[in-house]
Structure 1
Amino acid sequence: MTMFTSLTQARSALHEGRTSAVELLDTALAEMEHWEPQIHAMVTQTPELARAAAQDADRRLAAGDRGDLLGIPIVLKDLVDVAGVPTTAGSRVLADNMATSDAVVWQRLRAAGAVLLGKANTHEFAYGGTSEPTRHPADTSRMVGGSSGGPAAALAAGYCLGAVGTDTAGSIRNPAGLCGVAGLKPSRGLVDPTGVIPLSPTLDVVGPMARRVADLDPLLSVMSGQPATGDPAPRTPEGLCVGLLSLGPMDDQVLRGLSATQEVLATGGATVEGLELPGCTESVYDDFLIIGFEAVQYHRRWADRRDDYTPYVRSRLEDAETTSETDYQAALERARQLRTAIDQALGQFDVLLLPGVPFTAPPAYDDQVEVAGQPEDRDTALCRNMALANLTGHPVLALPAPADGGLPVGTQLLGGLGSDRDLIRLGGWIESAFGSALD
């Protein structure tokens, strides 16, 4: 048996009796065994827990239960507590940190019958964009982005069908784009973060990742505790007014993917118009400032463990120590102003279309990247098209775009607060319209 290409396909096979949860798990574990020595996506594997969950799922299926996630193999970013399983946050600081209770999001997924393969890698404490030592399944000399790089790599490699990530400056969306999978940064407050190690409580959100856009919907329904209502089918763009938000230079391959998305929306009946919003690209610096200020407060509990941090994260925390309360409050005020500007734009447009990461997956360990022929700081470039939505709280969908046979590229759809499922439905239509162009 080969792994299904989507959660939706696997769910249908389980419901129709064409496979079992145990068979699906065996396939997932075989794929993991093949890929893990190459891509290092996982921090902790939980095969015993997974087998018990799969066996229970098969009993529930036999009794007529048809839950959307029943028997579906998933991974959690290693910030999410699972009782009896280590939560290390990718750091030696928490190497011996055994969770004693379940995060709310895992409580809900477990009750829905999801099968946990284990904890996927994160950049240390989610404070970075490379997720070392995880590597790209399409080219293991390249990085996967971050900080939810482990979940993205596991999805791209095909040994899970859903994942839980976190997003503070694009940490779901940039690895999703670089790896060619889908991810949603939900509306702020939609998914309860209790039991998830924070980076910046003001900006953090917990969200779903999947191999296909439509698969995000059942994951979000369970994770949020708000079952979907209404039609879950893809939503045609006919009659929509889409604002194409300009966010600075990008590589030609990324531009072609963005243009293809614009064209397929127009072909589907949408009107696409250019939009300029001053300060959007620069918002990444306010995002970084807020993250740093809040991270310093959280990490003071381990002030005597600084030598156990990686040099990169230790340096970022030390640099952030100089941020003043005045500067922090000013950044929060600019974030409120940006939210007002986005809300005003969404009064004119139904949805905004944005580029994703402005380059394809770069070689691992490169601190600088080249974007449209010009050198740029890697971490700033990874986040500069992402951070505005973390500052404003709006939901954003990351979805694949045609890559012309090269490394994956992605785009983003941004909507009004609470429009998360509308974004998934529209993104699902776009993905279907592209068809084999995404293969």
Structure 2
Amino acid sequence: MTGILDMTATELAGNIASGLVDPVEAVSSYLERIEAREPLWRAWAHIDRDGALAEARVMTEEARSGALRGPLHGVPVGIKDVFHAQGMPTLANSKTMDPNATYADSGVVAALRSAGAIILGKCETVEFAGMGVPPGSRNPWNPAHTGGGSSSGSGVAVGARMVPATIGTQTGGSNLRPASYNGVAGFKPSYGALSRDGLLPVSWSLDHPGLIARSAEDLDLIFGAIAQNPGLEAKQQDAWRIGVLRDFFFETSETDTVAVVDAALARLCAAGMQVDTVALPELFSAHHAIHHLIMSTEMAAYHAPRLASAGERMSGRHKLLVQAFALVPAGYYLQALRARRMLRDAMLPLFDAHPVLAMPTTPAPAPEGLESTGNASLLSPWSLLGFPAATIPCGLAENGLPLGLQLVGAPGTDRTVIQAAIAAERVLGRLELPA
């Protein structure tokens, strides 16, 4: 049997259900791994050791009697430290948060617990999951490079084999980017598919809870277990038809990235998938300006009261951004909302002939240093539009760091996107994670 640390969430759930592994073994194995590796990787803001072990003991007895709580029974999961969880602090990497405050479970955490997952702890985040101070989480493929962000710890924890799956968020590129940088799978569902109750917002109309896991099959398992609005059933595909967006997405990527992604697409084509180039509508060129206007305005509106009451405890970077974003005229914001609707309407016809679109996840692998969490330009369009998007590893850059293939669908086609990711992963394989 595969060692616990090398199991996907799907494999671990199956082994717990069949009695080959018990939840105490699983939780203990991951806690030992965290104790040994956390000082270097810095993935965790809070570890609920006692609570996780106590829950695991109860679930072990339940599993032995056949009383499984759900499809994730006994599977340890980490959550980004912007989701509230009963019995744990929510700090969001900010000194403005009260470490002694108590909270009820957020919607996502409640859904995870209902499905049987054990919450191992809170994963590190960029300050308030926005553009503030990064937490210093290191990439397990090379600790001199960033683990990405803003779901920094969520990506590193899975990539470093500290937990089989985590929950992150994405407002621009904050979930799929760390998944890609750390050589694992990630999924940003359609807007509204996962609950945002109990989530500290960056931008109300752009925030998406997301998943990071060892495999695309894990994404399917977890999304199916916790989605409040799972959307349409996956379309059955005899042969997948994939539209490739070369405009912008390939044009702005590094040569090394283009070569690796093109090689992956060639393998998919050789495996029987139909791969065609698809042109973007002219309006797409405005996506960055639209996204930035909406995000900055909503971010400033949420943080203005905190700036007034606790501005002296904000980082200088976050404080400056909130002050600057508050100057955006309301008329610009309203025009951006209108432009988003127009862009969404212009993009939807791309899916008429191709249920899934493909492009690189990031223009380059994880950058060196810990001050930047990387480039989100290939991810933010789908956060702006609320379209479901997945990433799977597709190879290594020349410097040995992972690169991802991004797959995108129309809103509500989450299951189809995940099934496409599973099909592609079966062709491309998964990366062997660092020891």
Work out whether the TM-score is over 0.5.
Answer: yes
- Cα deviation for residue 229 of structure 1 reads 9.5
Structure 2: how far apart are the matches of 1:61 and 1:228?
Answer: 31
1:307 aligns with 2:308: no
The answer on 1:386 being equivalent to 2:386 is: no
The aligned residue for residue 426 of structure 1 is: 420
1:358 — aligned with what? 363
Residue 135 of structure 1, aligned match among 135, 138, 152 = 138
Counterpart residue number, 2:348: 343
CA RMSD of aligned residues (A): 2.3
Kindly state the Cα deviation for residue 74 of structure 1 after the two structures are TM-superposed: 0.6
Other-structure match for 2:42: 40
Q: CA deviation at 1:250?
A: 1.2
- Quickly say closer, same or farther: Cα 1:33–1:237, change in 2 above 3 A: farther
Aligned twin of 1:372: none
Of 391, 394, 401, the residue aligned with 2:394 is 401
Q: Is the contact made by 2:138 and 2:147 (CA closer than 8 Å) also made in structure 1?
A: yes
2:60 corresponds to: 58
> Against the structure 1 CA distance between its residues 279 and 386, is the aligned structure 2 distance closer, same or farther, given a 3 Å change threshold?
farther
Q: CA deviation at 1:284?
A: 2.4
Alpha-carbon offset, residue 222 of structure 1: 2.2
Using the TM superposition, give the Cα deviation of residue 281 of structure 1 relative to its aligned residue in structure 2, in angstroms.
5.6
> Relative to 1, partners in 2 of residues 1:421 and 1:245: Cα closer, same or farther, differing over 3 Å?
farther
Query: Does the aligned pair in 2 maintain the 1:399–1:410 contact within 8 Å?
Result: yes
- Asked if 1:28 corresponds to 2:30, the answer is yes
**Secondary structure of the structure 2 residue equivalent to 1:117:** strand
- Shift of residue 63 of structure 1? 1.9
Q: Pairwise mapping of residues 222-371 of structure 1 onto structure 2 (< 5 A)?
A: 222-225=225-228, 238-246=239-247, 247=249, 248-277=251-280, 278-280=282-284, 282-302=286-306, 303-365=308-370
Counterpart position of 1:123? 126
Structure 2 distance, partners of 1:423, 1:244, is 16
In 2, are the aligned partners of 1:400 and 1:438 still within 8 Å (CA)? no
Once the 2 structures are TM-superposed, how far is the Cα of residue 98 of structure 1 from its aligned partner? 2.2
* Deviations 1:185-225, CA, capped at 9 Å, x for gaps: 11111111001111100111112211111101121122214
- 2:392–2:405: 8 Å Cα contact kept in structure 1? yes
Seen in structure 2, the aligned counterparts of structure 1 residues 228 and 23 have a Cα distance that, compared at 3 Å, is farther
SS in structure 2 opposite 1:10?
helix
Contact 1:237 / 1:268 at 8 angstroms: preserved in 2?
no
Distance in 2 between residues matched to 1:279 and 1:337, nearest whole Å? 8
Structure 1 partner of 2:175: 172
- Take 2:137 and 2:255, find their aligned partners in 1: how far apart are those partners? 26
Q: How many residues align?
A: 425
In structure 2, relative to structure 1, the CA distance for the partners of 1:19 and 1:355 (3 Å cut) is same
1:48-197 equivalent positions in 2, closer than 5 A:
48-66=50-68, 67-96=70-99, 98-128=101-131, 131-197=134-200
Residue 257 (structure 1) shift: 2.6
SS across alignment from 2:138: coil
Deviation at 1:11, TM superposition (A): 1.6
Distance 1:33 1:320, change over 3 A: same
Distance 1:436 1:154 in 2: 17
Residue matched to 2:12: 10
What residue identity is the alignment partner of 2:334? Q
CA deviation string 1:272-302 (max 9, x = no partner): 2222323546522321221110111111221
Q: 1:332 offset after TM fit, Å?
A: 1.3
Deviations 1:72-95 (A, max 9, x none): 011000011112210111111114
1:84/1:98 contact within 8 Å kept: no
**Structure 1 residue 252 displacement after superposition:** 2.7
CA distance in 2, matches of 1:198, 1:56: 34
For 1:316-374, what per-residue CA distance to the aligned partner results, in whole angstroms no more than 9, with x for missing partners? 2122122111111111122111111220111232211021110111122455xxxxxxx
Conservation of the 8 A alpha-carbon contact between 2:171 and 2:203:
yes
Q: Give TM-score scaled by structure 1 length.
A: 0.91
> Contact 1:130–1:147 (CA<8 Å) still a contact in 2?
no
Aligned partner of residue 183 in structure 1, secondary structure: strand
Bigger mean CA deviation after superposition, 215-224 or 254-263 = 254-263
SS at structure 2 position matched to 1:142? strand
Question: What code does the residue aligned with 2:299 have?
Answer: A
Kindly provide the amino acid, as one letter, of the partner of residue 243 in structure 1.
V
Maintained 8 Å contact 1:144/1:179: yes
Q: Percent same amino acid at aligned positions?
A: 28
Say which SS state the counterpart of residue 71 (structure 2) adopts.
coil
- In the alignment, the residues of structure 2 paired with residue 60 and residue 355 of structure 1 have an alpha-carbon distance, to the nearest angstrom, of 43
